[in-house]
Amino acid sequence: MDLNKLEREILALITRRGSVSFVELARKIDGFVGDLEYVSDFCDNIFFWAGISPAGMDALERLKKLGLIEGLPASMLTYVADGSVLDMPIVTARRKYTEPHWLPIVFTASKHGKNRAA
């Protein structure tokens, strides 16, 4: 299981910080910012973030698939403190939304991910 440079950088940042928002990834990881939207598999109107590069999206998805990281719900205040929020209503329940809603998440490293990054 070889990780590419972007995957290694993302995993290292998440492991070092404990949990990381999309804002932190965008600021600290070269090549992460782009024009893709990260949406829920459950509902296309639940947005996790917007402005991710194809390489950034692929890296996150691969790290999740390998069980090295996971996305966990976070407070909007995490994003306020980081200096950026999505301009849409917050998800309040697990349901299918007909209009765009934002579900703030942070990424954490699994035990396996922490060992891999060490």
Find out whether 103 and 48 touch, Cβ atoms under 8 Å: yes
The whole-angstrom distance between residue 95's C-alpha and the CA centroid of its chain comes to 20
Query: What pLDDT does 110 receive?
Result: 86
pLDDT digits (tens, 9 = 90+) for 28-72: 999 999 999 999 999 999 999 999 999 999 999 999 999 999 999
Find out whether 101 and 47 touch, Cβ atoms under 8 Å: yes
pLDDT band with cut points at 50, 70 and 90 for residue 116: low
The 8-class DSSP code of residue 91 comes to P
Q: What is the value of pTM for the model shown?
A: 0.91
Query: What pLDDT does 118 receive?
Result: 54
